[in-house]
Amino acid sequence: ESEDMTAKERLLFWSKQITDGYVGVRCDNFTTSWRDGRLFNAIIHKYRPDLVDISRVSTQTNRSNLEQAFTVAEQLGVARLLDPEDVDVQSPDEKSVITYVSTLYDAFPKVPDGVDGISPNVSYWY
């Protein structure tokens, strides 16, 4: 991780790292990448696979995915800062999405079970 990475860049990097390998999940920004709810569900699934049936996420509507993610996150103590209709729009509000993703980041241990040696504070450049 570069010293001059902003908090926003670090959070996006963490989101990409955590969701790497999830089919149909792309994390390119804090707006349209989050619209279908798949990213939110993938992050929760990475830490709590018992709470998200990831196989259903690809077949559900954007709003269903978003509602599921926000409801499950709320059960884990994450404040519900967004509603599905806030995110399932042409261009979701970037600051709102960043704020919510940062609460997810704070809610989970930094290294999920089964992910060896990956820390959001360390960058791996190849």
Band of pLDDT at residue 117, cut at 50, 70 and 90:
very low
**Axis crossing angle, helix 38-47 with helix 7-19, rounded to the nearest 10:** 70
The average confidence (pLDDT) of the chain is 87
Q: Write out pLDDT tens, residues 23-70.
A: 999 999 999 999 999 999 999 999 999 999 999 999 999 999 999 999
Band of pLDDT at residue 109, cut at 50, 70 and 90:
confident
Rounded CA-CA distance 22/8 in Å is: 22
Mean pLDDT of 58-85: 96
Q: Tell me the percentage of the chain whose pLDDT exceeds 70.
A: 84
What contacts 24+ positions apart, CB below 8 Å, involve 68-73? 68/37, 68/41, 69/37, 69/40, 69/41, 69/44, 70/40, 72/44, 72/48, 73/40, 73/44, 73/104, 73/107
Band of pLDDT at residue 4, cut at 50, 70 and 90:
confident
Please state, as a whole number, how many other Cβ atoms lie within 10 Å of the Cβ of residue 30. Answer: 22
Rounded CA-CA distance 106/109 in Å is: 8
pTM for the model? 0.84
CB–CB of 75/49 below 8 Å? Answer: no
Q: Tell me the percentage of the chain whose pLDDT exceeds 90.
A: 80
In this structure, what are the phi and psi dihedrals at residue 75, rounded to the nearest 5 degrees? -65, -25
- The answer to whether residue 120 scores a pLDDT higher than 90 is no
- The answer to whether residue 126 scores a pLDDT higher than 80 is no
Q: What's residue 113's pLDDT? A: 52
